[in-house]
């Protein structure tokens, strides 16, 4: 497990397996050696930080959605932890008696896919349900993927959700907490498999 350092006085310190102290607060924890640059937000434009692995910017449909996108991007590199993440930030993962346990998610502080999305929207004052299936079912607007806007939610079955960023560098991109053993990352949108082919919009009025 990585060593974390305090980056805010408004912090809560707790202990995980092995006695490692981890700081959780209302912003990203940072591995020893420093934090990656946070996204720069100017109005509705969010510049991707270096940790995104791709240069460019995202133009959100509103300043509120820009906050959502920036909040998700702040956590790039944070471990995936099944069951992890709430409105305040990353949390300890939980046991699933399967793949997540094999990766030690119950001893990691991080996000699962829906936890990251829930947190990002909470930072903009929007309360979402906890699971990806509920997030789709309770969306204010659902449109075909070809009408997706930055900040919309994309789904694979009812088991995975990601936050759409738009087209960056000629590729549809998203930010996601992918799966056990990985970290929060910016990825190309995967349209195969059980991709639902829709974009769910938690905020009505943003281009709907």
Q: What is the CATH number of the domain that holds 117?
A: 3.90.1720.10
Total domains in the chain come to: 1
Q: Which residues constitute the domain of residue 141?
A: 45-201
- What are 147-200's pLDDT values in tens digits? 999 999 999 999 999 999 999 999 999 999 999 999 999 999 999 999 999 999
Q: Which of 30, 74, 119, 160 is catalytic?
A: 160
176 in catalytic set:
yes
160 in catalytic set:
yes
- What are 6-34's pLDDT values in tens digits? 333 233 333 344 444 444 434 555 544 44
Going by their DSSP bridges, the two strands 141-144 and 195-201 should be labelled as antiparallel
Q: Tell me if 130 is assigned to some domain.
A: yes
- What are 126-148's pLDDT values in tens digits? 999 999 999 999 999 999 999 99
182 in catalytic set:
no
Q: Tell me if 151 is assigned to some domain.
A: yes
Determine if the pTM surpasses 0.75.
Answer: yes
Q: Tell me if 31 is assigned to some domain.
A: no
Q: Which residues contact 105 (CB under 8 A, 6 or more apart)?
A: 80, 81, 82, 83, 84, 93, 94, 95, 96, 180
Q: Which of 113, 119, 134, 182 is catalytic?
A: 113
Q: Tell me if 180 is assigned to some domain.
A: yes
Q: Tell me if 113 is assigned to some domain.
A: yes
Q: Tell me if 107 is assigned to some domain.
A: yes
Q: Tell me if 120 is assigned to some domain.
A: yes
Q: Tell me if 208 is assigned to some domain.
A: no
CB-CB contact of 108 with 16 (8 Å) = yes
């Amino acid at each position: 497990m990585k060593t974390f350092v305090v980056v805010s006085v408004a912090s809560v310190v707790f202990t995980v397996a092995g006695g490692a102290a981890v700081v959780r607060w209302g912003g990203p924890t940072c591995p020893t050696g420093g934090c990656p640059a946070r996204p720069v937000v100017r109005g509705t434009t969010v510049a991707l930080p270096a940790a995104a692995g791709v240069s460019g910017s995202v133009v959100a449909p509103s300043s509120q959605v820009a906050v959502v996108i920036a909040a998700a991007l702040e956590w790039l590199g944070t471990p995936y932890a099944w069951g992890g993440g709430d409105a305040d930030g990353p949390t300890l993962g939980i046991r699933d008696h399967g793949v997540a346990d094999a990766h030690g998610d119950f001893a990691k502080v991080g996000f699962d896919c829906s936890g990251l999305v829930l947190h990002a929207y909470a930072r903009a004052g929007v309360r979402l349900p906890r699971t990806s299936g509920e997030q789709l079912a309770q969306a204010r607007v659902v449109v075909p993927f070809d009408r997706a806007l930055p900040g919309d939610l994309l789904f694979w079955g009812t088991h995975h959700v990601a936050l759409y960023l738009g087209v960056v560098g000629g590729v549809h991109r998203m930010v996601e907490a992918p799966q056990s053993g990985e970290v929060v990352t910016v990825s190309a949108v995967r349209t195969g498999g059980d991709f639902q082919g829709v974009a769910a919009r938690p905020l009505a009025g943003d281009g709907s």
